[in-house]
Copies of this chain bind each other. A is one copy, B any other.
Amino acid sequence: MSRPLPPMRSDYPHFLAIPTRWNDNDSYGHVNNAVYYYFIDTVVNCFLIDNGLLDLKTSTTIGLAVDTGCKFFDSVEYPDIVQAGLRVTKLGNSSVTYDIGLFKNDKDTAAAQGHFVHVYVDEKTRRPVKISDKMRETLKGIHKEESTA
């Protein structure tokens, strides 16, 4: 098995800066692996909120996380700033697959790469619902096929 290569900044059309916090570090003095999923959750949801696609108070459909994952190439430690890159790699009828690159400060190769799959369901029935046209249009703006590296 050959080890996958970390992605580059140029792979991502959208970025969010996420400063680490003191408590993100664990006993080994670096940011714990579970905390990367907070970074992933934050860049995805922040993008949706900023683009008017998620309003916790009024939405009747919610995005459920059904599959997430992360590969770790380098460590990050407080007080590093994580630059979280975001792109959509798959846009289904009711699901969206995001690819997230987490870069340490001004590094050009990622410290970690995650994926995150949202399925949109009705808040009450929990049955899948079609992604709205508005959301589809916005997500197309950061859609980028995975490179065949």
Closest 10 CB pairs of A and B: A69-B69, A34-B37, A33-B65, A22-B45, A21-B42, A25-B27, A22-B42, A22-B41, A34-B38, A23-B38
By the criterion of a CB under 8 Å from any partner CB, how many residues of chain A are at the interface? 40
Q: A135 within 8 Å of B by Cβ?
A: no
B residues less than 8 Å from A46 (CB atoms): 22, 79
Contact A57 B29 (CB under 8 A): yes
Interface centre among A49, A72, A75 (most CB of B within 10 A): A72
Q: Please list 11 pairs of residues, one from A and one from B, whose beta carbons are closer than 8 Å in the complex, sorted by A's number.
A: A19-B19, A22-B45, A23-B34, A23-B41, A25-B26, A29-B56, A33-B37, A34-B37, A34-B38, A67-B72, A69-B70
A95 vs chain B, min Cβ distance (A): 10
Q: B residues within 8 A CB of A27?
A: 25-27, 29, 56
